[in-house]
Amino acid sequence: MIFVEDLNFQSWAKGMWGKHTLDAGFGQFVTILQWVCWKRGVYFGKVNKDYTSQICPNCSAHTGKKKLTQRVHSCPECGYMTHRDVASALIVRNRGVSEVGRILDVKEVAWGGGLTGTRNGLVKSLRNRKKGGEAWIYPAS
């Protein structure tokens, strides 16, 4: 599974570093990553970008805004310490896993289970063809 923050690159590009942001092609990278995940049958999901650097991944306490020079995340509630970027990545992962759990619960109820974990149903479709069954694809969500 791969999770990314759901960033609005159009509004981000209007800022001070707008031309550099567009030249770097961050939005295109996410689009290509999503396509490669679909092609390989890997789950790809976008998660809420809000407060990923301000929440403790260990206890979910709000730790407040940090300056860019502050590179260490330290939680006053539980004492958890790690690099700031690692803490943000853990929050993105936790949100993604939580979202996948909700999606799978809904799809298992709707389709009776047996899911591969992909949103596109490509793996399930190919597996059914090999068994001689009718190929079907989950509706896009």
Kindly report, residue by residue over 71-120, the tens digit of the pLDDT: 999 888 898 999 999 999 999 999 999 888 776 665 544 444 444 444 54
* Residue 140 scores a pLDDT above 50: no
The distance in angstroms from the start CA to the end CA of the chain is 17
Q: Is residue 121 within 8 Å of 40, Cβ to Cβ?
A: no
Q: Which one is predicted more confidently, 117 or 59?
A: 59
Given the DSSP bridges, would you call strands 44-47 and 2-5 parallel, antiparallel or unpaired?
A: parallel
- Alpha carbon distance 135, 141 (integer Å): 19
pLDDT exceeds cutoff 60 at 134: no
pLDDT digits (tens, 9 = 90+) for 3-56: 999 888 777 778 777 777 777 788 889 999 999 999 998 999 999 999 888 899
Check residue 91 and give its pLDDT: 92
pLDDT value at residue 86: 92
The pTM for the full model equals: 0.66
Q: Are 43 and 37 in contact (CB under 8 A)?
A: yes
Quick check: helix, strand or coil at residue 140? coil
